[in-house]
Amino acid sequence: MKIIIAEHAGFCFGVKRAVETAEKILKESGSENLYSFGPLVHNSQVVEKFNKEGLNVVEDIDSISTGKVIVRSHGIPESLQRLIEEKKIELIDCTCPFVKSVHNKVSNYYKEGYQIVIIGDKDHPEVIGINGWCNNAAVIINSEEEAKCLPHYDKICVVSQTTNTFNKFNNIANIIKNKGNEVKIFNTICNATQKRQSACEELAKKVDAMIVIGGYHSSNTNKLVEVSKRHCSNTYHIEVAKELPLQELSKFNTIGITAGASTPDWIIKEVVDTMNNINNDEMLDAIEKSFTRINRGDIVKGKVIYVTDNEIMVNINYKSDGIVTKDELSSDPDVNPKDLFKEGDDIEVYVVKLDDGEGNVVLSYKRMETIRGWEKLEEAFNNKTVVECKVLDNIKGGLSVLVYGIKGFIPASQVSIKYVDDLSKYKNMKLKAKIIDFDKDKNRVVLSSKEVEKEEIEKKKEELWNSLKIGDVIEGTVVRLADFGAFVDIGGIDGLIHISDLSWFRVNSPSEIVNVGDIVKVQILDFDKEKNKVSLGLKQTLPKPWDVFVQNNKVGDVVTGKVVSLLDFGAFVRLKEGVEGLVHVSQISTEHVKKPSDKLKVGDIVTVKIMDINEEDNRISLSMKAIEEENSKKEEVKIVNEDMNVSIADFMEKDK
């Protein structure tokens, strides 16, 4: 095995300077009241080492009042620097000179009226620090999509997080350059970062595998991982030597090693020494011992290496990899392996055979799923929990379903609360159900989705009861009519609109106002959860007919209406607004009327004149007689005019 270490791996100038400064201060003045604002570097091993030596990490400057504070290479906002100075705390500024120059550039251009745009991660301490030197007014962009959404500005100054990749910065900057009348673009990616990434890229192209050493939360280290993976699929990100996957690495002939800017030399050396020992007999023996010991019938854990339409290959930490064919993947005949797993997924499998004749271990996900499935089903049955099942087909008497990889049965009577006449529509659907009968020895699992429906309805009812408030206006659906009113479903509870609350005027039947299926807005008048009763009002959501009538009509207007009742003293007529007025018996006709029924019957449409509106008592006096009299006068005028026309004609004839 050949091991190649990339150029420019490990501590950059800024990090090295910060670490050496901390070591010097600890050596000269001890650890009393010595702090670093945030972890000194993005490397947990280095931070832990300094912590043991007495360098305390603080995230809030208010938590200290005396002592010395080391500002890490990422830098801090201007306001925080001033606060430290005001508190008379000694500030040891280890901000990377390259980062410091970005601070100055941002500060100067911001004062000249430029909109500052930072290309980087808004949560990274370096970006937070840069933003603090333009009064936190920068726009921070970390993708091309975000750049495209950037509004147009007059003047823009663009800088970058120093650990960005050049390709990312260049692509985003090319979009931003068209977003302003004057755009200044500064590539502030650290030279050391660029060199480290370039060296990593060149090495990744040449080797069989790459090892990237550095903190899992380190931005520059993750960029190296990203660069490596573009050219070498066998890339491993580790923090320390003990995380090396020795078994996998032993398969490769050439291995490249690089390290992030926060990785100290001693960690890199430890990794290299470990790798150099792989070829030793002792190390080979250790690798051999690291293999998992497996037997037929075992359930083992592994990682998916690749997936095709017919099989998946799995690394089970054995001397050979395992294969799961499509038949051994699932009891669902329509399953596609690519829908279940992807490269890198963790998986648990059942060992069917140690050698398929070609050196591969035969594995089964389906059999493992069956074993685990019965365990899960038994637990769900005992705890009465809800499970999700896929409908395979409709069979005699119900549905065949798959739950936790095991076939079960839902009787037709347990499919739904409502009667279902065609079960075929459920094929391939996913249903939530409860296990109502379970016998592992007889391979029997009977489920009910109806029970889940019931519980969900009851839950919704309970939520609805808790949300009801008298006076609220809600929406519902008319589900049933009775002589005394209409029942409305308001979301799982049926409320009653009494016939007297259907309309502002009297109705003989609810069907005069609503029909089954109508969606109506109703007001909650009263409710009693214990008696399961809700009183609703429809008319309460509508304007009062009297108010509408008074607004639209005045005394003297001629209107039409319908005769709704006849009494000895007159007839009541309902006008279009829904209000009723009285036509007194003396106002029915110019002729003498002994009783209203002599001239009218219920249901007649009549034209009447408004004679009086009594707003205090809500009474309306109407007259049909007045209409007749007015029509009679018009007729007399017409006759007189006609007679006059005839007389004039005769006179003119005689004059001839």
Confidence of residue 556 (pLDDT cuts 50, 70, 90): very high
Select from 134, 25, 37 the least CA-distant residue to 79.
Answer: 134
Contact in structure between 196 and 166 (CB atoms under 8 Å): no
Q: Do 105 and 185 belong together in one domain?
A: yes
What pairs with residue 579 in β-bridges? none
Mean pLDDT of 173-192: 91
Q: Count the neighbouring beta carbons within 10 Å of the beta carbon of residue 358.
A: 7
% of the chain beyond a pLDDT of 70: 94
Rounded-to-5 percentages of helix, strand, coil across the chain = 35, 30, 35
Domain CATH code at residue 504 = 2.40.50.140
Pairing of strands 558-567, 605-614: antiparallel
What tens digit of pLDDT does each residue of 456-486 get?
888 888 888 888 899 999 999 999 999 999 9
How many CA atoms are closer than 13 Å to the CA of 578, on its beta-carbon side? 16
On whether both 102 and 185 belong to a single domain, the answer is yes
Give the whole-angstrom CA distance, residue 321 versus residue 256: 24
Angle between the 13-29 and 44-53 helix axes, to the nearest 10 degrees?
A: 10
In this structure, the answer to whether residues 220 and 261 fall within a common structural domain is yes
**Residue 600, pLDDT score:** 94
Are residues 496 and 532 both part of a single domain? Answer: yes
Q: Does one domain contain both 504 and 522?
A: yes
pLDDT tens track for 253-268? 899 999 988 888 888 8
Same domain, 447 and 487: no
In a domain, 547, yes or no: no
Asked if residue 378 belongs to a domain, the reply is no
Inform me whether the pLDDT recorded for 325 exceeds 60.
Answer: yes
Beta-sheet pairing, 322-325 with 346-353: unpaired
1 falls within a domain: no
Indicate whether 285 pLDDT > 80: no
Give how many domains the chain has, as a whole number. 7
653/656 Cα distance (integer angstroms): 5
Last residue of a domain, one of 96, 126, 142: 96
324 in a structural domain: yes
CA distance 387 to 498: 43
Domain assignment present for 37: yes
Task: Output the domain CATH number for residue 280.
Answer: 3.40.1010.20
Q: Report the C-alpha gap between 131 and 300 in whole angstroms.
A: 50
pLDDT tens across 87-108, in order?
Answer: 888 888 888 888 999 999 999 9
109 and 128 part of one domain: yes
- Is residue 653 one of the residues assigned to a domain? no
HEC-encoded secondary structure of 59-80? CCHHHCCCCEEEECCCCCCHHH
Single residue among 147, 165, 189 that ends a domain in this structure? 189
Give catalytic residues, as residue numbers: 126
Instruction: Evaluate if residue 593 carries a pLDDT over 80.
Output: yes
- Per-residue pLDDT band for 192 (boundaries 50, 70, 90) equals confident
CB burial of 510-526 (b: ≥16 within 10 Å; e: otherwise) equals beebbeeeeebebbbbe
pLDDT for res 441: 86
pLDDT band, residue 335 (cuts 50/70/90): confident
How many degrees, rounded to 5, is the angle at CA 209 between CA 266 and CA 257?
Answer: 20
Q: Is 656 helix (H, G, I), strand (E, B) or coil?
A: coil
Grouping H, G, I as helix, E, B as strand and the rest as coil, residue 375 is helix
Residue 380 lies in a domain: no
Q: Are 118 and 140 in contact (CB under 8 A)?
A: yes
Q: Are residues 363 and 305 part of one domain? A: yes
Confidence class of residue 24 from pLDDT cuts 50, 70 and 90? confident
CATH, residue 27? 3.40.50.11270
598 pLDDT more than 70: yes
Cα separation, 216 vs 506, in Å, equals: 77
Does 78 reside within a domain? yes
Q: Which of 55, 77, 96 is the last residue of a domain?
A: 96
Mean pLDDT of 172-177: 94
pLDDT of residue 652: 58
Same domain flag for 117 and 56: no
21/77 same-domain check: yes
Backbone φ/ψ region at 139: left (φ over 0), alpha (ψ -120 to 50), beta: beta
Q: Is residue 333 domain-shared with residue 277, that is, in the same domain?
A: no
Residue whose entry in the numeric block shows the structure tokens 């669902």: 332
Residue 399, amino acid: L
Regarding whether 218 and 174 lie in a shared domain, the answer is: no
Q: Tell me which residue range forms the domain holding 406.
A: 387-455
End-to-end CA distance of the chain: 144
